Structure 1
Amino acid sequence: MEETTMEGGGDHNREMEVAPALIAVHPTHHSVAVAVGSDLRVFDLQTGNPISLLDDSSEPLHRDSIRAIRYGAMGKLLVTAGDDKLVKIWNTDAWRCISTVSSEKRVSAVAISNDGLFVCFADKFGVVWVVDLDGFHENQALASKKAAPILAHYCSIITSLEFSPDERFIISADRDFKIRVTLFPKKPLDGAHEIQSFCLGHSEYVSCLAFVCASDYPEAFLVSGSGDSTVRLWDITSGSLLDTCDVGAEAGFLESNGKADEYGPAITDLCTIPISSLVAVAIQGLSGVVLLSCNLADKALSVSKVISIKGEAFMPTSLGTSSSAELLWMVTGVSNLQGFDSTSLARVRAISGFSKTNPDSGELDSIVLEDRDIPGGIQLLEKLQGSGSIAEEVFLAAAETVKTAMHNLLIKKQYSVEKREFRKRGRNDRKTKH
């Protein structure tokens, strides 16, 4: 890998960083939340109205890009976190921030235990922290909460966190190709010291995790997406790799914008469809999603369908669905896009029909909804996307910007001996002598 030019100033590079738009869906489809840059936008699907968020602090909701957004399994909590080193916990009944937790480093991933008692978040130094929500009341702010370290990867950015459906394990993935399965202890504030397994096999950073569940297989199986363009199926108890699907090749997507992709199309995000054994996969450069079929009996993954979004450059940066899987929600967008008037771009689309099968072809009768057919319609889009129309070339530029930013952040850089010495001299975290 070629070396990049030596960095001049860290502050300048921080200002140029971009963040992809993120989407999260309430588990019972009550609301949809989108984060783009430091903006957090929520729409109430029950009342058909945008939601105003309440935060008793005098500061903005977030001062820097939001990097993680997650509803709890019961839908009572929403957690947001990011580059401002703040983890905000929202009560979704009153839509009030009930607690703001400070992180030592920028936050890269969050997870909420299925019982809603613990929030975990990971930072870019490789540490996973836990916050105890004991004493949570729906209409009352929590007392000042502090996070306790629970586990750590070795100085590697943690890209994704998940609790297993039975809450026995917390799964963490990082940029060094590792997936770690850790027993979640009864007293997590004392740390999680027992590792169940490592799931090893990816050849690039692991970008996303999700669980595939079925009534016949209560233990569930883990699926992971990666910068190596594959989705892999795992038995987390043993750490065994059950199957690998090269999504880019299987979907016939080997090139981006008409030219060969130097690094291969990375998996941007994936989302399991609860009412089926399907996994929706977003790939860099693909305008649409790939649906994978997960055969749990045979422990195999295969491409079921490629759903293309025609007529616009829509390359999803994040996916979400509810437990009923009425719709697959998608967002594309980016913050801090240089050279354009709008610095925070977002476009929301939805796909329906996961429970319907075309009798002629035997395939799912999934369709991409028109804007007017999306729940909440134009009012929802105005809230989640922001006002004003955005030209197609802007979203093409945004997709390339996200791709470059993801590569620069997660692909490990190789340095010569001379450059390593140069970087050491410029470090600002050396201990001072007294």
Structure 2
Amino acid sequence: MEGAKMEDARVEECEHDNSNTQEDAQVEESEQNNKDMEVAPALISVHPTRSSVAVAVGSDLRVFSLLDNCAVTLVDDSGGASHNDSIRCIKYGTNGKLFVSAGDDKLVKVWSTDCWRCISTVISEKRVSAVAISNDDLHVCFADKFGVVWVVDLPGFGGTEAPLNKKAAPLLAHYCSIITSLEFSPDGRFIVSADRDFKIRVTMFPTKPLDGAHEIQSFCLGHTEFVSCLAFICAPDSPQGLLVSGGGDSTVRMWDVISGTLLDTCEVGAKVEQVESDATEGKCSTVTDICTIPDCTLIAVAIQSLRGIMLLTCDLPSRTLSVTKVVSIIGENFVPTSLGSSISGGLLWMVTGASNLPCSDVSSLSRVKVISGCASEQEPVVLADTEIPGGAKLLEKLQGSMSIDEKVFLAAADAVKTAMCNLLIKKQYSDEKREFRKRTRNDKKGTQ
């Protein structure tokens, strides 16, 4: 009798182990499938004086020189491709001498724009989600998926000789929340970081950043969903500027960074429903990017379901935001994934596209559009391809293939929308799945 009980117990234990093994295999397969299905949106960044334009799609970094009217060849002495996984963030420095690219390969690459040579490669411990360059070009900051902002110094940068690869030091942290955007204030005093837990943190940038940033100026709290993007508006009476933010709650908000006070909220989602005839009523329209237009108080806003961009006006005396105009891309499924502008030229650059598209023969695609007249009293106009600076040569470099079906771009827009939700909306796990994720975590630090 006792032997029969022991046998039953062994059978039950074996069945339990088999059940756990099967569940672990299913979880592992699901995790791998999610990794395989990750879609990286196309990104665009414009040199402050419009001497060049950069587009990143997947692991491909494409740069076109508007001064020389030719494609740029990137020089990376590390050997091989510049990046070997999806690039998630690109940015020019304030004066345009530096350019930074980073992403899922845990590499942060600093480029000199004079010769487009990689002058420093920093290895991150985790995948990188945001980057920023200090106004004096002496420090590069980057954020990872675990909510830590790191800083690396570039002393004596001259643009010709590469400094030794640096080891990054922790600057600040958001306690295990994905950081979605990093920006320095116009006066360089503050570094602002936003995360998927609805928070915006304003931190005093220290004189010795490698020792960490310990003084928090304020928190800007008010978003009801993840914060996706940040930008600053220059104001004559505020050297630090006014902060604007967009997020998953279909709003653009304006803040006083000194006090953290919410100055105004613009409900852009409701306006999209009026413009887009096929938009579902009440559907949340995530703000995917914000770009301030230099020399004016206009703000360009990219929204997931909008075929074009929305222009907002900031009234500086009253500290309010209002919708000025929606500039639609007629006859095309062009939903911008990233925006860029320069100090000169009065042009707004847009890109749409993605990489790692599921169920597609195209590994990566991008399309570039430009809007003129944003900074003047003229009506904003979407330029024809032949009117874009650089013309066909620029489009050939930044877009790659020119003959991709419109349906593919529409599918790309849907894939990017799904990918952003998967990335920024918090996932809920069962106890078994959570334990499996703990057992299979790969937190080994890369050799620096």
Q: CA RMSD of the aligned region, Å?
A: 1.8
| Structure 1: distance between partners of 2:227 and 2:275 | 20
SS in 2 for 1:403: helix
Residues in 1 aligned to 2:275 and 2:27: alpha-carbon distance in whole angstroms:
32
Shift of 1:424: 1.3
Cα drift, residue 425 of structure 1:
3.3
Distance 1:295 1:431, change over 3 A: closer
CA distance in 1, matches of 2:125, 2:210: 17
Aligned equivalent of 2:362: 342
Q: Which amino acid aligns with 1:265?
A: S
Instruction: Give the 3 Å change call, closer, same or farther, for CA 261–100 of structure 1 in structure 2.
Output: farther
Match of 1:191 among 194, 199, 212: 212
Is 2:432 the counterpart of 1:425?
no
Amino acid at match of 2:308: G
Q: How far is the alpha carbon of 1:219 from its aligned partner? A: 3.1
Change (3 A) 1:431 1:354: closer
Q: Matched residues in 2 for 1:256 and 1:159: separation?
A: 30
- Which has the higher Rg, Structure 1 or Structure 2? 2
Change (3 A) 1:56 1:430: closer
The counterpart of 2:298, out of the listed 271, 278, 282, is 278
Q: Does 1:319 align with 2:339?
A: yes
**Among 252, 261, 268, the residue aligned to 1:231:** 252
Q: Which residue of 2 aligns with 1:406?
A: 420
Which residue of the partner structure matches residue 66 of structure 1? 87
* Partner Cα distance (2:402, 2:294) in 1: 34
**Secondary structure at the residue paired with 1:315?**
coil
> How far apart, CA to CA, are the structure 2 residues paired with 1:127 and 1:256?
41
User: Residue 39 of structure 1 aligns with which residue?
Assistant: 60
Give the one of 379, 397, 401 matched to 2:411. Answer: 397
Counterpart amino acid of 1:380?
A: L
Letter in 2 for 1:151: L
Conserved 8 A contact 2:191-2:205: yes
Aligned to 1:182: 203
Count residues in correspondence: 418
Deviations 1:249-287 (A, max 9, x none): 13544868443465x010010100011001000000111
Tell me, in whole angstroms, the C-alpha distance in 1 between the residues paired with 2:388 and 2:193: 34
Q: Which has the higher helix share?
A: 2
Aligned residue for 1:244, secondary structure, equals: strand
Where does residue 20 of structure 2 map in the other structure?
none
Preserved CA contact (<8 Å) 1:273 1:280 = yes
Amino acid in structure 1 at the alignment position of 2:134:
S
Query: Residues of 1 paired with 2:394 and 2:186: CA distance?
Result: 31
Partner of 1:24: 45
2:155 paired residue number? 134
What TM-score do you get using the length of structure 1 for normalisation?
0.93
**Worse-superposed segment, 203-212 or 339-348:** 339-348
State the percentage of identical aligned residues: 66
Q: Is the 8 A contact 1:275 1:325 kept in 2?
A: no
Give unmatched runs, 5+ long, in structure 2: 1-25
3-state SS, counterpart of residue 393 of structure 2: helix
Question: How much has 1:323 moved relative to structure 2?
Answer: 1.5
Relative distance call for 1:430 and 1:128 in structure 2 (3 A) is: closer
Distance of 2:321 and 2:443 partners within structure 1: 50
Extract unaligned runs of 5+ from structure 1: 358-363
SS of the residue corresponding to residue 41 of structure 2 reads: coil
Question: Which residue is equivalent to 2:10?
Answer: none
Whole-angstrom CA distance in 1 between matches of 2:107 and 2:443: 25
**Match among 366, 376, 383 for residue 356 of structure 1:** 376
Q: Aligned equivalents of 2:387 and 2:328: distance in 1?
A: 18
